[in-house]
Amino acid sequence: MDPHIYPKSAPAAPATPDRKPIVGTANATPQSLNAASKQKADGSPPTRSEEYRDLRQDISQTKTVDLATYAHLIFDMKFNPTDSAPSESRNVKAIEVKLDLYLAAAGNRIAHEKTLYDPLNDFLNAIYRGSKDQARIYYTQADRAIHGYRLDRKPDIGHICRRLLNLRDDQNLDDFLREHWIEYMHWLLLLSFVEVKHHNGNALGARTRKRAKETTENVEEKGSSSKKQKSSGGLAVASASKDGSRLSGSTSASPAADPVPENSGTQIFQETRRQAASYARALFSAGAIRSHAVALVIDDEHFRFVFYCRSLIVESEPGDLKNSIDKRRFISLVQRLHSFSHEQFGLIPNMKLPFLQNVKLKSKKRVRGDDGKQESQPKKSKVDGKGKGKEQAVDAESSQGSLSSSESGLFSSYQVEMSEHTSAEASAPPSALPGAPPAAAELPSLVDSTYTLVVEGVERVLRITRVIFRSDGLIGRGTSVFEVKCIKEENVSENGQRTTITPDQSWEGRPLVLKLSFPPSGRTSEGELIRAASKHAEDNDSCWALKHLPHVVACVDSPDRKGTDPTQTTLQGRLKSQFEDAYEMRSLRATVLEKLEPLSSLKSAREFAQVFYDILQIHRWLYEHPRILHRDLSMANIMYRREGDNVYGVLNDFDLSLFRTRMDEGPTSKHRTGTKPFMAYDLLDTAWDKVHRYRHDLESLFYIILILSCHYSDPTTQASSLPFKAWFDQTDDLIASQKYRFLGSPSPILPVQPYFSAFTKWLRDIRLILGMGFKSQPLNVTGLYDWDTLGGHVTYTSVMKDMGSFDGKELVLRWAGVDSGN
């Protein structure tokens, strides 16, 4: 999203769309291997290899451009082939001296990589010009894990605000950073990071790319004159167009998804990409809420800038600090980074983060032989001095995960509380103890941060009181959910007229939830869909449905960034112009909803049954009447309301939902972040034709009931045995084959926990319905077979009959009507 634009007002409530003939079926969003799509059954963090596997699709979205094009796209800067020394440099000679010291250290091939950190910091910090109170500084993070994320992640160098340090004005920054370790750093405080390697450029693919370029350029010189000018360092430099407004930089797709050749340089390059992406994922997932991040990867004299956003990754081609033009451009880009506002670093506007002003980081005096490890952390094995041994999967402080063992994450999307801190931080001993980390209360938190939005001429300030959920991923919607309290309401009508905010209009004192996400700009918003459904219920004597739909208080998107010249004026506009369909425009969406209750707070198996029965009915009503297909049933998207002794199941999270009139338009997003164990077999099968049908959601409801009944010994306690654990941990194709065998087995084992034993009949009957449907599929595709219902077997009516009673007693019927039998 463009960081300079913020939500202004809520859209008008949409009218219910006209019913039109259905000319197609809803296309499913493509299968995903991206990080946000993975969740383990027991809630434990992934291993390092699992994390890298999960990042594979994210990294495959990498686009590589020359340095000049990168500067134009990301920094909105334009270079010329004959750049002179940066005019903004306060002391060019001092910068050159510190660069020479760094290059001398990098030239020592037998020295350890860690010897590069301090001279590199000196060089990067020397580039800054400006006042100390606004300064950003680079410091050595080294082997000290950053707090706040569920995995032990340790970027080599961090980039933070200088004012976070307990540093006197008369203290020398370089001396302070060389003599001290920064203690208990938190991802919320990090602006960007630097990953350092000592592989003579191989970690950036510089050597391979240089040889490839030389071969290409030799061919081009023989055939025709090249439009690129070659610098003394052998790297191509893109020239400006005649009018100076556009750059003719090259763009290439990433080889990240290709098999890694048997080449050590290429393997190091791919490993470095994955490692840097894992840091960006942590920054997105545990840092301040942001739309994008900028990082720097340096391998001796070679460097790359990398841009991560919610749609793709953009990296520059390798530059060479020994090349005069590349060096000047590098200094200019680092100067620009030093001057970035928080919003230019990707932090969302309208969110005030008090910890950026209030926190003072502690420091620890370095001693000889001190490698920077925190005393409170166990030693970890080393492999190659860096890389695989540096970051084993599970941090000591997060080995229990960010959810307790009794709440494994199945209920986590909107309802289970997720601590801002890791479990060890939350239960840490007092910081007065030697070597102990600070208590959770001393670490920064999003709690007490505020978010401001304007709805119908009223500006409201929402204070975060609890972090409910933060998605763990890189590319995708990046959803965060908070419990909030309205602390201020003020009329800001443009016409100057002040109106009284009535008690019914006021948000103060109401239990509210704020959901922030970055959905594709072209997708119908969750608020529009829910409001359309609610209006249809009110207008068509179906008010019963309102008890089973979320109540949207406000849904505010950042304004459409289409302007008179969208390709030049905004970050997203430039990216869209450069990459066209490969870049997916996204909006910052703020949705305020009435707070609902989580499944984990239900009091009996019968209440669970009533909630599931309600979901079956409201889901079908949505499909038949306002003509909405939900498309993302999971345990986390089912909640409830309680009125006295009655519970009402509520279908939540319409981010992937579609009006049926738009089903033929194709996927509206390239990335799905649903949870694999609840996805229908077809949608996991690579041979499927990628259409999402109504019956797929019925199948998802079956898996929800199955996993709840078999993985939980009561509403809040996970069972000791998890029979379907593989459905969380394996790849799509393996999960698909396991589900197919399970549904087709003549007598599968249903290890239902005693608390949920009455669900056994439901599970046997619905599994039989699904199994008969799959067995009925023809060997050859014909136009006569009913794929919508698998030959008439998998229908709302058939499932409804089985779910209408529970443990021998009828459940409450909410809706008797159904327009069709499927």
3-state secondary structure string across 62-115: EEEECHHHHHHHHHCCCCCCCCCCCCCCCCHHHHHHHHHHHHHHHCCCCCCHHH
Do 572 and 685 sit in the same domain of this protein? yes
Percentage of the chain exceeding pLDDT 90: 58
Confidence at residue 813, expressed as pLDDT on a 0 to 100 scale: 97
Please write the tens of the pLDDT for every residue from 624-671.
999 999 999 999 999 999 999 999 999 999 999 999 987 765 544 554
Q: How confident is the model at residue 615 (pLDDT cuts 50, 70, 90)?
A: very high
Alpha-carbon dihedral angle through residues 556, 558, 560, 565, given to the nearest 10 degrees:
170
Whether 434 is in a domain gets the answer no
Query: For residues 104 and 116, what is the distance between their CA atoms, to the nearest angstrom?
Result: 9
Residue with tokens 């046997």: 764
Strand partners, 599: none
Structure tokens that stand for 682 in this block = 């077809």
Amino acid at 15: A
Report the SS3 class of residue 663.
helix
Do 353 and 452 sit in the same domain of this protein? no
Whether 63 is in a domain gets the answer yes
Strand partners, 555: 591
Confidence at residue 39, expressed as pLDDT on a 0 to 100 scale: 63
Structure tokens that stand for 317 in this block = 């081609």
Do 472 and 568 sit in the same domain of this protein? yes
Whether 815 is in a domain gets the answer no
Q: What is each CA distance from 556 to 79, 461, 483, 576, 630, in whole angstroms? A: 38, 14, 17, 23, 21
Do 471 and 341 sit in the same domain of this protein? no
CA atoms within 13 A on the CB side of 191: 20
Q: Does residue 432 surpass a pLDDT of 80?
A: no
Do 303 and 175 sit in the same domain of this protein? yes
Q: Which of 320, 333, 211 is nearest to 265 (CA)?
A: 211
Q: What is the mean pLDDT of residues 760-768?
A: 97
Q: Which of 136, 190, 157, 159 is nearest to 338 (CA)?
A: 136
Q: What is each CA distance from 43 to 166, 429, 721, 725, in whole angstroms? A: 37, 24, 14, 11
Poorest-confidence range of 144-148, 346-350, 384-388? 384-388
Whether 599 is in a domain gets the answer yes
Q: Which of 139, 176, 175, 177 is nearest to 158 (CA)?
A: 139
Please write the tens of the pLDDT for every residue from 277-312.
999 999 999 999 999 999 999 999 999 999 999 999
Confidence at residue 816, expressed as pLDDT on a 0 to 100 scale: 86
Whether 9 is in a domain gets the answer no
How would you class 682 by CB atoms within 10 Å of its CB: exposed for 0-12, middle for 13-18, buried for 19 or more?
buried
Please write the tens of the pLDDT for every residue from 309-367.
999 999 999 999 999 999 999 999 999 999 999 999 999 999 999 999 888 999 999 98
Do 470 and 353 sit in the same domain of this protein? no
CA atoms within 13 A on the CB side of 529: 26
Report the SS3 class of residue 784.
coil
Query: For residues 706 and 752, what is the distance between their CA atoms, to the nearest angstrom?
Result: 8
Do 331 and 197 sit in the same domain of this protein? yes
* Domain final position from 328, 347, 365: 365
Domain that holds residue 356: 52-365
Do 341 and 225 sit in the same domain of this protein? yes
CB 637 within 8 A of CB 688: no
Q: What is the CATH number of the domain that holds 474?
A: 1.10.510.10
Report the SS3 class of residue 217.
helix
Whether 7 is in a domain gets the answer no
Return the number of other C-beta atoms located less than 10 Å from residue 123's C-beta.
26
List of residues 6+ apart from 97 with CB closer than 8 A: none
Do 359 and 451 sit in the same domain of this protein? no
Do 318 and 453 sit in the same domain of this protein? no
Query: For residues 607 and 615, what is the distance between their CA atoms, to the nearest angstrom?
Result: 12
DSSP state, residue 151 = B
Domain count, the chain: 2
Q: Which helix (H) or strand (E) holds 330?
A: helix 324-339
Q: Does residue 6 surpass a pLDDT of 60?
A: no
Work out the end-to-end distance of the chain between its first and last CA atoms, rounded to an integer number of angstroms: 40
Do 79 and 227 sit in the same domain of this protein? yes
Whether 779 is in a domain gets the answer yes
* Domain final position from 365, 395, 425: 365
Please write the tens of the pLDDT for every residue from 724-762.
999 998 888 999 999 999 999 988 889 999 999 999 999
* Domain final position from 365, 395, 430: 365
Residue with tokens 């699709």: 57
Whether 151 is in a domain gets the answer yes
pTM of the model: 0.82
Do 666 and 529 sit in the same domain of this protein? yes
Backbone phi, psi, residue 709, to 5°: -70, -30
Residue of higher predicted confidence among 397 and 265: 265
Backbone phi, psi, residue 261, to 5°: -65, 165
Return the number of other C-beta atoms located less than 10 Å from residue 373's C-beta.
16
Angle at CA 284, nearest 5°, toward 280 and 289? Answer: 145
Question: What region, left, alpha or beta, does residue 666 occupy, with left being phi > 0 and alpha being psi -120 to 50 degrees?
Answer: left
Structure tokens that stand for 501 in this block = 């905010």
How would you class 208 by CB atoms within 10 Å of its CB: exposed for 0-12, middle for 13-18, buried for 19 or more?
middle
Percentage of the chain exceeding pLDDT 70: 73
Confidence at residue 387, expressed as pLDDT on a 0 to 100 scale: 42
Please write the tens of the pLDDT for every residue from 696-719.
999 999 999 999 999 999 999 999
List of residues 6+ apart from 235 with CB closer than 8 A: 67, 210, 213, 317, 318, 319, 320, 323, 326
Q: Which of 247, 221, 227, 238 is nearest to 81 (CA)?
A: 238
Q: What is the mean pLDDT of the chain?
A: 80
Q: Which of 325, 309, 234, 255 is nearest to 277 (CA)?
A: 309
Q: What is each CA distance from 634 to 45, 48, 699, 757, in whole angstroms? A: 20, 26, 11, 21
